């Protein structure tokens, strides 16, 4: 293929790709506009977990507040991450309660807890919503005295607090 012909084909290819991209953008915008509840173009995802927890009546704790609660009160501490991540390092005295297997995992703890029992739930950090999912599941089962530590493992380590490991 002659160079000018190759260049022409490349230009046509780029133009075709551009048209596809523009069409996708137009349809995306239009579809969102006609939706009954459009998705906002900008959203504060970093604090989404905290704002949803507050809306559900779940208390939200900072790392310092979580540490204070753990030192002063008798509460259950649940780690909503996978069992593998829990084993690598978790908050002191925490129990593994993966959100992906909540029903099977929580059964053993539910037998030991009363509905008014205070429980703190966390996962890896602000971008993780597994702790919120666990809180929602616990709320459905009648456990309402919940504290969400949204900052999770990331904030805990940032504050210089120690983790425990299971192996």
103 vs 146: CA distance, rounded Å: 18
- Selected binder of another protein within 11, 21, 62, 92 (CB under 8 A): 21
Applying CB under 8 A, which of residues 8, 32, 51, 166 lies at the interface with another protein? 32
Is the separation of the CB atoms in 98 and 132 below 8 Å?
no
Among 7, 8, 11, 24, binds another protein (CB under 8 A): 24
The minimum distance between CB 146 and another protein, in angstroms, equals: 20
For position 82 contacting another protein by CB under 8 A, the verdict is: yes
Q: Which is nearer to another protein, 22 or 73 (CB)?
A: 22
By rule CB under 8 A, what count of residues binds another protein?
37
27 binds another protein (CB under 8 A): yes
- CA 167 to chain CA centroid, Å, is 25
Contacting another protein within 57-76 (CB under 8 A): none
Q: Is 163 in the site for another protein (CB under 8 A)?
A: no
37 token code pair: 């509840």
Q: What tokens appear for 29 in the block?
A: 């915008």
Q: 10 Å Cβ neighbour count for 99?
A: 23
Q: Is residue 11 at the binding interface for another protein, with CB under 8 A as the rule?
A: no
Which string of DSSP letters, residue by residue, matches 67-112?
HHHHHHS--EEEE-S-HHHHHH-B-TT-EE--GGGHHHHHHHHHTT
List CB contacts of 44: < 8 A, sequence separation 6 or more: 51
158 touching another protein, by CB under 8 A: no
Is residue 20 at the binding interface for another protein, with CB under 8 A as the rule? yes
Contact 79, 90 (CB under 8 A): yes
Give the residues lining the site for another protein (CB under 8 A). Answer: 9, 13-14, 16-17, 19-21, 23-25, 27-29, 31-32, 35, 39-46, 48, 81-82, 84-85, 100, 124, 127-130, 133
């Amino acid at each position: 293929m002659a160079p000018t012909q190759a260049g022409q084909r490349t230009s046509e290819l780029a133009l075709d790709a551009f048209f596809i991209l523009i069409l996708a953008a137009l349809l995306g915008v239009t579809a969102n506009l006609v939706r009954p509840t459009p998705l906002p173009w900008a959203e504060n995802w970093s604090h989404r977990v905290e704002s949803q927890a507050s809306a559900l009546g779940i208390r939200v704790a900072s790392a310092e507040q979580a540490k204070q609660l753990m030192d002063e009160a008798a509460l259950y501490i649940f780690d909503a991450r996978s069992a593998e991540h829990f084993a690598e390092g978790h908050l002191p005295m925490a129990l593994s309660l993966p959100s992906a297997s909540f029903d099977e995992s929580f059964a053993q703890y539910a037998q030991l807890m009363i509905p008014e029992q205070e429980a703190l739930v966390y996962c890896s950090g602000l971008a993780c919503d597994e702790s919120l999912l666990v809180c929602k599941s616990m709320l459905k089962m009648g456990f309402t005295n919940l504290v969400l530590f949204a900052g999770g493992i990331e904030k805990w380590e940032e504050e210089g607090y120690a983790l425990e490991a299971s192996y």
